[in-house]
Amino acid sequence: MTLSYTIAIDAPHTHCYGVTIECSVDAHQVTLRLPTWTPGSYMIREFARHVQQFVAWCDGEPARWHKVAKDSWSIDVRPGALLRVQYRVYAFDLTVRTAHLDDSHGFFNPACICMALVGHESATHRLRVEAPAGWRVTTGLDAVDGWFSASDYDELIDSPFECGTHRLVQFEVDGRPHEIALWGTGNEDIDRIVADSRRIVLAARDMFGGLPYRRYVFIVLLADGLYGGLEHRNSVVNLYDRWGFQPERRYERFLGLTSHEFFHVWNVKRIRPRPLGPFDYRGENYTRQLWVMEGITSYYDNLLLVRAGLITPARYLELLAEDIVKHEALPGKDLQSLTESSFDAWIKYYRPDEHSGNSSVSYYLKGSLAALLLDLLIRHRTAGRRSLDDVMRLLFERYPVTGPGFDDALGIRPEVEQVLAAGGAADCDVGAFFSDVIAGCAPLNYGAAFASVGLWLEWSQAGHAWHGMTLKTQHGRLVVQSVRSDAPAALAGIYAGDELIALDDVRIDDERLRARLGERRAGQRVTFSLFRRDTLLHRVVELGAAPAERLRLAPVVGAIADDADRAAWLGLTD
């Protein structure tokens, strides 16, 4: 059996794709179902809410159908008949995980618009796009006679499409074509993007010893102020601020995004825990290992930029220090473990609120720091003979894409201990590390880890009085976005959503408040006047000393052996 999908872009100004599905059927009743989420983005998104004008035919005659669930349509058919279904899907959400259509382009993840024929997901699926004249179609699937073919439904929905007049450029690595489809314009330098993307591919290939695909596609969508990425089997979608390529520090962010999503070619799309494939597209797929999938990938994204020569080692250490400061500022680090954060991604990570920083941690951020500590632990115990790189290579070798993933309860601990043993470590037990750092909330011991590569931590205080609120100016009003649970403002009873209007009876805005606080010292009391639900209130805050806001990772002078270990870690040796 082959399922054929035709995607019609016949009225882009309506933001609706026309979808036609055709296939032979072998039953009296069949069900079509649309996913509720897309792999790589762990939240139920209810794509079926955008479906409209559903109709069906059986051998050219109208077929009876009825909706049986929020995501499912049941159709009465005849065995051996040709089923033809049509519907339209509203698509005006410019994100990497959904679909967008206007008169400039059409982008879609098939998970958003292509229903599965229940029970026939393993059949061959093919798709064609009826696009306006002059538009091209770019995707990771191969095309034959205008049809893009997928071996099964999983491969189809893991292959995003970009349609339009986008720029298309290519480069090769190991004789394998890599395409960059670029929609939108800004201050980008496309030649530099091509050259630097190639260097990222080379750095990752060198780490794993080869490329696991025949062809790869980067879809890059440029729009004002947007950011995001979503990995796929042999392609990626990156959404980036079109003015975010200059100055250099902003361009670094684009390179980090590119590196992060490309690393997922191995870590997520091949290396994965068992719950993450084959997927249940109807509901949550729970795993306690998203810190491996996203945290380890976040660790390697900037590290690969160093190894590729795209940022300096000194800049990399600055970026690491910024991540440590950011993590240590979150009270939630003492309440939620990485395994808990991973498991609760479906209800917490993608639904942040004003209390998130007080109650949870990011499996991206803390996961990257845990990966850093694990890498340096392996290097130290094996005297530099092994590293986290070896663990990732072992995982890639042990769990091929066609087989089951690693055990979700054990995680990657068995592979870490095997690598330690192969490296001649006297102590191969990492039970305490996984118990304290991964499954627990123990403080992260940066000092010992960095000392093993000849670095020491130099913290510095901010030097100003501190209230512990995050503020934002909205329509000329200074509004509290969040309050740290351990901060002076929280103890004084200031809430998220309060509008601050005065400090010690003098009107303030954000700039004036900063200036006034610069004149205060820790321990002094100040009175904030504020509106809460249109009621005027006054709150006395005893200002505290600001937490350390700056961290410098500095080399230990004269530690020659440690210098060599640090160079090996950063990939600065042959």
pLDDT tens-digit map of 451-493: 999 999 999 887 789 999 999 999 999 999 999 999 999 999 9
The stretch 91-97 carries a mean pLDDT of 98
Q: Name the band, by pLDDT with cuts 50, 70 and 90, for residue 560.
A: low
pLDDT digits (tens, 9 = 90+) for 422-435: 999 999 999 999 99
Q: Which residues pair with 181 in a beta bridge?
A: 168, 219
Whether a cis peptide bond, with omega within 30° of 0, leads into 212 is no
Mean pLDDT of the chain: 97
What is the reported pLDDT for 402? 79
> Is the pLDDT score of 117 beyond 70?
yes
Q: What is d(CA 363, CA 437) in angstroms, rounded to the nearest whole number?
A: 12
> Is the pLDDT score of 558 beyond 80?
no
pLDDT digits (tens, 9 = 90+) for 333-374: 999 999 999 999 999 999 999 999 999 999 999 999 999 999
The stretch 18-32 carries a mean pLDDT of 98
Tell me the CATH number for domain 2-164: 2.60.40.3650
pLDDT digits (tens, 9 = 90+) for 499-521: 999 999 999 999 999 999 999 99
Distance of CA 387 to the CA centre of its chain: 24
Amino acid identity at 205? R
SS (H, E, C) 174-241: CCEEEEEEEECCCCCCHHHHHHHHHHHHHHHHHHHCCCCCCCEEEEEEEECCCEEEEECCCEEEEEEE
Q: Name the band, by pLDDT with cuts 50, 70 and 90, for residue 400.
A: confident
% of the chain at pLDDT higher than 90: 94
Q: Which residues contact 30 (CB under 8 A, 6 or more apart)?
A: 74, 75, 77, 83, 117, 118, 119
What is the reported pLDDT for 446? 97
Q: Name the band, by pLDDT with cuts 50, 70 and 90, for residue 557.
A: confident
What is the reported pLDDT for 546? 87
> Is the pLDDT score of 392 beyond 90?
yes
Domain spans, the chain: 2-164, 167-248, 292-456+559-570, 465-545
> Is the pLDDT score of 548 beyond 90?
no
Tell me the CATH number for domain 292-456+559-570: 1.10.390.10
> Is the pLDDT score of 121 beyond 90?
yes
Other C-beta atoms lying within 10 Å of the C-beta of residue 210: 8
Query: Model's pTM, two decimal places?
Result: 0.96
Domain 465-545, CATH class in plain words: mainly beta
The stretch 526-548 carries a mean pLDDT of 96
What is the reported pLDDT for 134? 97
What is the reported pLDDT for 572? 85
The stretch 48-54 carries a mean pLDDT of 99
Q: Which residues contact 416 (CB under 8 A, 6 or more apart)?
A: 374, 378, 391, 430
pLDDT digits (tens, 9 = 90+) for 257-269: 999 999 999 999 9
Q: Name the band, by pLDDT with cuts 50, 70 and 90, for residue 559.
A: low
- CATH number 3.40.50 is the correct assignment for the domain at 167-248: no
> Is the pLDDT score of 561 beyond 70?
no
What is the reported pLDDT for 405? 96
Q: What is d(CA 574, CA 572) in angstroms, rounded to the nearest whole number?
A: 7
Token pair for residue 70?
């929020």
Nearest to 551 by CA among 288, 283, 399, 328: 328
pLDDT digits (tens, 9 = 90+) for 185-226: 999 999 999 999 999 999 999 999 999 999 999 999 999 999
Token pair for residue 504?
């010690």
Q: Is 293 exposed, middle or buried (0-12, 13-18, 19+ CB in 10 A)?
A: buried
Nearest to 204 by CA among 244, 258, 166, 163: 258
Amino acid identity at 525? R
> Is the pLDDT score of 243 beyond 90?
yes
Q: What does the DSSP 8-state code read for residue 394?
A: H
The stretch 393-420 carries a mean pLDDT of 95
